[in-house]
């Protein structure tokens, strides 16, 4: 699931890259905390390394969750897809 062409290659590096991207945005602290927490929550709920995630496991994260969780999960997934094109990513988030 490490899709984009960003510089980071390991799970830890990808999450650090995501956090750095978020820190460059103008989000209030509460939203920033929610967004930064999403990768860890997703990793725990799926129970696998990021590069082993399957589509069905990702989709299983959403049922029964609040919109707030959907928002944070989708933000991280958008980052994974578009991390090589940060201009596109700015419009997604």
Q: What is the pLDDT of residues 1-58, one digit of tens each?
A: 445 566 777 889 999 999 998 998 888 999 999 999 999 999 999 999 998 999 999 9
In a domain, residue 19? The reply is: yes
- What global pTM score does this model have? 0.84
- How far apart, in whole angstroms, are the C-alpha atoms of residue 5 and residue 89? 13
In a domain, residue 40? The reply is: yes
In a domain, residue 22? The reply is: yes
Query: Domain containing 19: what range?
Result: 11-92
In a domain, residue 48? The reply is: yes
Residue 27 CB coordination number (10 Å) = 15
In a domain, residue 68? The reply is: yes
In a domain, residue 4? The reply is: no
- How far apart, in whole angstroms, are the C-alpha atoms of residue 17 and residue 34? 16
Number of domains forming the structure of the chain:
1
């Amino acid at each position: 699931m490490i899709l984009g062409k960003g510089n980071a290659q390991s799970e830890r590096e990808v999450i650090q890259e995501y956090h750095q991207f978020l820190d460059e945005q103008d989000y209030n602290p509460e939203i920033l905390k929610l967004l930064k927490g999403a990768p860890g929550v997703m990793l725990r709920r799926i129970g696998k390394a990021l590069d082993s995630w399957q589509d069905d496991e990702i989709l299983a994260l959403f049922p029964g969750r609040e919109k707030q969780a959907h928002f944070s999960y989708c933000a991280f997934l958008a980052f994974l897809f578009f991390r090589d094109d940060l201009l596109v990513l700015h419009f997604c988030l």
